[in-house]
Structure formats: structure tokens, C-alpha cells
Amino acid sequence: MRAKNNTLVFLSGCALVLLAACKGPATGGSDGKDTAAAVAVTDTLNPKNFEAVINGKNTKLYTLTNKSGASVSITNYGGRVVSLMVPDKAGKLVDVVLGYDSVQTYQKKGEPYFGAIIGRYGNRIAKGKFTVGGKAYQADVNDGVNTLHGGRKGFFGQVFDAEQSGQTLNLTYTSPDGEGGYPGKLTVKVTYTLTDDNALKIEYTANTDKETIVNLTNHAYFNLNGAGDSTILNNTLMIAADGITPVDTTLIPTGKIQPVKGTPFDFTTAKAIGKDIGTTDEQLKNGKGYDHNFVLNKNDGSKPIAIASSPVTGITMEVYTVEPGLQFYSGNFLTGATHDGKGGKAYVLRSAFCLETQHFPDSPNQPAFPSTVLKPGQTYHTSSTYKFLNK
């Protein structure tokens, strides 16, 4: 039924490399002409810093490396993508995701879900309330008046069982009935595969023993200049979506679909993320920038639904999925207040973007949106691929 099929592709590595393709410190105007490079590289990502016991379970760092040397490092704490090393136009490996050097830093209060598996429900549910199987439920409210990304017991803070086999990492987690306020014991499996053509594929399956709702995604923060100090305002982006689901001031969809044509939300042709972000627009105001669900045009998963690119490194990322929606978030809540990013970096405002494949936010309360209901006997399945090119 919910034959979801996200396909995300990423790349990564365990050591961060910094490229010094820069012209100076990263700056970030809103004109999209930011030419700063970033790319701090460090080779200091130390697997030992990910060895801990959390919730009574062991955490570790796992690294998948492909034949050309691209790599992704993932911890089973929240299933987080910690680094993703992909070749730039000169063939040097660049870390394109934000993250931390230790599992303890991922546990800090207010941590913005860096690289995490998001569940049970990606994005927001109005006031945390929903009805499924004829019963009303109250999910944990953790974002003002709403629930966001599964609430405080979300998968981002759970320890998965992990099994690596070559370039594949299998993560499993059983969420007990009632966890975070959601009904049903939910058995979840997430498989990360790094392919030899520099694609990170993430596959999700889930089963329940009680009628419930599910909406799984990954919350990687990308900067194709290289994770570091620069903003992403010069990264270009195409999203194959003719509409968005506009939101109120608490980022809950109004239920309408708004055409992007003639608005700052028109990414149907690639443009710099910074090009229109400073425009006076009610939706940009509500989101403090882009923080919206794009209603993807019909696609069968064979063509990219989004393409991002850095003029500095030449790295291009294609995103594939058959999910109906894509949350494009322009890092509006990053502040650069702390210097605890990998290699001591401060992740400043808009120093990364997220492209979260998903069903629409608040679907359980919006009958016109595609359903997120999962029943016993059904298997939830979706996948997303983030594929990297360097020409």
C-alpha cells in the first residue's frame, strides 16, 4: 500500500578532508553570488569518539568505502550520517555534510538532527494530535505547539542494531508500542549502501502490530562547497515541483497546494539558493527562509527530483525518490553560536541545506494529502538516493 520508495544517494568518508579551494573566508550574501569555498578538511574523525553505551546499547562508527575511495561514515546512534566524502572536480575528496566529531556532541540539547534517521513521523503534526484506527492519539509536543520529527523519543536519539557487510550497513530498531505517543510496536530496518558510482542509497522498511502512521526520512545537512564555514547561498538547486504546501506561522500546512510559478519557490529551473531568499514573501517569512514541503511532480524514481551543485567544488548531487514530497530547508535555524562542528567549525546561518524526501507534513490531519497509515500485515517500504557527480 504505502509502497514508498525514497531513493537518496550520498557519499561520505570517515576522515574529513579539507580542500582549500577558497578565496578567503566564506561569506554569504543573499544575492546568491557567494563564491567562498569552505572545505575544511580534517583527517581527525576518530572512531573511538563514537564508542559509547547509550540507552544500554553500544554505539560505534561504521565506514563504507567504495572502489574509488568515496566513503560514508555512519553511527548507529540515530543512524546518523556523520561524514560523506566525495570527489570534487579535481578529484579531491570533500566532506559535504555537517556533523560532529563525537557521539556525545550529537546528544547535546537543541542538536538539529544532523544526518539522522527521522521517525516515526518526519516533520510536523499539528499539536501532536492525530486519529488512526478510530482512536485519537497525542504525540509528544516538542516544537512550540506541534510535534516535530517524532518528538523527543524520535529515532534520531535511538540506538540501532548494526550489521555491516562491505559497502552496506543494515540498521534495525524496534520502537515499542506507545513510544513518543505513537501506537503499535514498529519494527524498522534502514539500509545504507554506498555504490561504486558514488551514490548513497537509503532503504527503509517498517512493520507494525497495530494500525499506526509512519513517515521516515533522513536529515542530512549538505554543503556542496564542503562542510565548514561557507553558506550554501551559492549552491544551485533544481526541484521538479510545480507546487508547495504553504504553511502557517507554526509551519503547519494550510492544506492548500500553492503553485510555485512567479514566486521565490520556483526551482523548476536551477537557480542559486540565495537568489530569491531575501524576497519579501509571506511563505519565506513564515519559514524564516525555505522550510517547505515541495509537491513533487509525478515521477517513477528513474529521474532526479532534485539536483544541487556547487560552483566552487564542481560537486553535483542528484536526489531520487518516489516519495510525493521533499522538504527543502535552508538551514535557517543554524546560528554558528558554537564551534563544535567537525574540525572545530561553527555552522553559521544557512551553512547547509536539507532535502528530506517524505510524505507531506501533518498528513494524518489532512485527508486530501497522500496517506501515511500503516496497518498490521502491510510493509512500509521506501528509498532515497543521493548521487554525486564531479564534473
Interface residue list for ligand GLA (CB under 6 A): 112-113, 123, 148, 251, 291, 327, 329, 333, 354
If the CB atoms of residues 6 and 327 are measured against ligand GLA, the closer one turns out to be 327
Shortest distance (Å) from residue 186 CB to ligand GLA: 21
18 in helix, strand or coil?
coil
If the CB atoms of residues 56 and 110 are measured against ligand GLA, the closer one turns out to be 110
The DSSP symbol for 360 reads P
If the CB atoms of residues 81 and 148 are measured against ligand GLA, the closer one turns out to be 148
Question: What residues pair up with 84 in beta bridges, in sequence order?
Answer: 72
- Tell me if residue 356 is catalytic: yes
Q: What is the CA radius of gyration of the chain?
A: 19
If the CB atoms of residues 143 and 266 are measured against ligand GLA, the closer one turns out to be 143
Evaluate whether 27 touches 79 at the Cβ level (below 8 Å). no
Cell numbers for 15, please give them. Answer: 576522515
Shortest distance (Å) from residue 362 CB to ligand GLA: 11
If the CB atoms of residues 34 and 291 are measured against ligand GLA, the closer one turns out to be 291
If the CB atoms of residues 187 and 335 are measured against ligand GLA, the closer one turns out to be 335
Shortest distance (Å) from residue 329 CB to ligand GLA: 4
Q: Cis check for the bond before 120: say yes or no (omega within 30 of 0).
A: yes
If the CB atoms of residues 169 and 319 are measured against ligand GLA, the closer one turns out to be 319
Shortest distance (Å) from residue 146 CB to ligand GLA: 10
- Tell me if residue 111 is catalytic: no
d(CA 115, CA 303): 24
Q: Which residue has the cell 527521522?
A: 118
Nearest to 391 by CA among 284, 333, 310, 295: 310
3-state secondary structure 81-136: EEEEEEECCCCCEEECECCCCCHHHHCCCCCCCCCEEECCECCEEHHHEEEECCEE
d(CA 204, CA 217): 8
Q: How many CB atoms lie within 10 A of CB 241?
A: 23
Active-site residue, from 179, 318, 323, 356: 356
Shortest distance (Å) from residue 334 CB to ligand GLA: 8
Evaluate whether 65 touches 193 at the Cβ level (below 8 Å). no
Q: How far is CA 300 from CA 42, 63, 208, 350, in A?
A: 39, 30, 26, 31
If the CB atoms of residues 251 and 306 are measured against ligand GLA, the closer one turns out to be 251
Element housing 285 (H / E)? helix 282-287
Shortest distance (Å) from residue 114 CB to ligand GLA: 9
Shortest distance (Å) from residue 213 CB to ligand GLA: 17
Active-site residue, from 219, 292, 318, 359: 219
Question: What residues pair up with 307 in beta bridges, in sequence order?
Answer: 238, 318
Cell numbers for 193, please give them. Answer: 549502501
Shortest distance (Å) from residue 361 CB to ligand GLA: 8
Angle at 302 between CA 255 and CA 162, to 5 degrees: 85
The DSSP symbol for 370 reads P
d(CA 68, CA 89): 14
Cell numbers for 122, please give them. Answer: 518526519
Q: Which residue is nearest to ligand GLA (CB)?
A: 329
Which of the residues are catalytic?
219, 356
